[in-house]
A and B are shown apart, each in its own frame.
Chain A
Amino acid sequence: MKPFIEKCAEKGFLFSAILSASITILILSFMIFFSFPIFKGGDIAAFFTLGWNPYEGKFGILPMMAGTGIIASLALFIATPFGIGCSALISVFSKGSSGRFLRKVVEFMTGIPTVIYGFVAIFLLVPFIREIFEKGTGMCVLSASIMLALLILPTIVLFLSDAFNSVPRSYIDAADSLGATPAQKLVYVIIPYAWKGIISGLVLAAGRAVGDTLIALMIAGNALQIPTGLDDAARTLTSHIALIIASDYESPEFKSIFLCGLILFTFTTLIVLIMRSLGYFKILGKR
């Protein structure tokens, strides 16, 4: 017979778990419900076109989808090697006080508000990029991706460094005693073992890159076009939602942002599924 307090705790935890899962399902239902008028109208294909001009009745959100995909992918592409390097430095190469200090700095980075990153980018990065390309305003895909990479870097570093630290001591001892250099230890022992944690870190970082609004809003240029180069301006789904919601709430234009939300939700779900399956196959391959 379980004590009363244990029973209460069990119910409490069950309630919390159900509530957390329900909120995700509720958000999805909310998005589907509000996007429903668009589906009902039968012109859903019209939304997946290039043209966005509410005055002409064009609500194509394809440029925003492309903008989101390109900026988030590029940010992840830039941040991943730096993230692996930085977490390797913290957990493998300098485990002493310098490693601990570096980790504290990275932890501090997670607390910096996004808008600060945006300010820094506007005053430092954007003019620099403008000079490099010698055209445009400097508010472009590259600026947004670099800043977004910096924003998601702490997430990657903290997750990866935890994953590296979770490698059993016996494996590390085995590699050390066989004369492995720290780099060999990282490549042959730590990364293969910590693969699942690495994938989890990258999934979270990708989710944050896709979901971030302010960086893209402030420095991506917000142009309604599919970017063809790094110096092209672009608009992401999140900044599009923010721009529309700030000025409207009744028109078809406004209704389209729920579709944007639904697509964002699908994007992040897809990222999670792809990354998880990659991790799964890697683990299967190891056997």
Chain B
Amino acid sequence: MPPVHRRAAAVKESKIRIDGFKFYYKKRMVLKEINGELEERAITTIIGPSGVGKTTLLMVLNRLYESIPDCRVKGRVEMKLNGRYVDIHKLPITVLRKRVGMVFQVPNPLPMSIYKNVAFPLKLSNVKDKIIIEERVKEALKDAFLWDEVKDRLNDSALELSGGQQQRLCIARAMIMRPEVLLLDEPTSSLDMEAALKITRLLVDLKKKCTLVVVSHYADLTRRISDHVLTLKDGYLHTNSKMMAAPEENNMTDDIE
């Protein structure tokens, strides 16, 4: 009999509630029974073996899975918006994705300048005021600890940046819409140790602004900064028996610097 966890983690105030969620790809049941709550303004890390469906679960939270042909879902995913829980499948997809940003495993800047990349979501939202765009780009790049490195070359191609810088650019691009939830799919796995440390430090900082859901490998750095660690195994989401508490801010900063 498979384990069914109605509450995957003890959370203070949940931002996302998942109830009896199932995901099928063709005839295969990838996610068998997902139940759980993800805490607001906290870092929740989902770990598990390769191919278990961690990325799929992340893609459920912003409905990116809908671009995958031959898949179907059952169950309910709710997100707290303006103080009440809303079924994400009832929200217009563009609205949902502007509130739930996503950063991928491999950095995916668009083939345009650094400035245009970060400003791209504003363009999609028809923001035309150049002063507002400039301010928001600067704010997002500062949020992503990238401003100092690129402020003198904003018109250079984003593809010329290093891997770590590209990943922080993608985070800045996701943050420019001031999302309430940021999904990160193994954000440090394709980076070297130094770049990975920068991203990890950045995530701790971003926690003040939004809810972070991170998919990660077992030995990844992000586990050390997580408020909650959930394990996805055999299509079920388990609460880790030993909850990993967030280290003290100062200790953690010392640790990764």
Contacts and interface: CB of A to CB of B under 8 A. Distances in A.
Interface in A171-217: 171-181, 184, 188-189, 192-193
Q: A interface, how many residues as a size bin?
A: 20 to 34
A188 B106 contact: no
A179 to B, nearest CB: 4
A96 B108 CA distance: 25
Contacts of A170: 104, 106, 108
B121 interface: yes
Interface string B98-111: 10011010101111
Given A95-B69, A184-B124, A176 B97 contact: yes
A179 B100 CA distance: 9
B106 to A, nearest CB: 7
Nearest to A167: B111
B104 A178 contact: no
Interface in B150-194: 157, 170, 173-174, 177
A174 B95 contact: no
A287 interface: yes
A270 to B, nearest CB: 30
A177 B62 contact: yes
B111 A286 contact: yes
Contacts of A174: 104, 108-110, 170, 173
A188 B119 CA distance: 12
Interface string B66-94: 01010000000000000000000000011
Nearest to A96: B69
A180 B124 contact: yes
A233 B67 CA distance: 50
B228 to A, nearest CB: 23
B43 to A, nearest CB: 19
Interface residues of B, number: 29
B120 interface: yes
Interface of A is mostly: helix
B121 A178 contact: yes
Contact of B94 (A179, A189, A193): A179
Contacts of B124: 178-181, 184, 188
B108 A179 contact: no
Interface in A152-178: 170-178
Contacts of A179: 93-98, 121, 124-125, 177
A178 B173 contact: yes
Contact of A188 (B62, B94, B95, B120): B120
Given A177-B101, A188-B120, A171 B94 contact: no
A178 B64 contact: no
Interface in A251-287: 286-287
A173 B95 contact: no
Interface in A64-102: 95-96
A178 B189 CA distance: 22
Contacts of B94: 179-181
B112 interface: yes
A68 to B, nearest CB: 38
Contacts of A193: 111
B110 A171 contact: yes
B123 interface: yes
Nearest to B125: A179
A171 B108 contact: yes
7 contacts: A173-B104, A179-B97, A179-B177, A181-B94, A181-B124, A189-B110, A286-B111
Given A96-B69, A170-B108, A177-B104, 18 more contacts: A172-B67, A173-B108, A176-B64, A176-B97, A177-B97, A177-B174, A178-B97, A178-B101, A178-B121, A178-B174, A178-B177, A179-B96, A179-B97, A179-B98, A180-B124, A181-B124, A192-B111, A193-B111
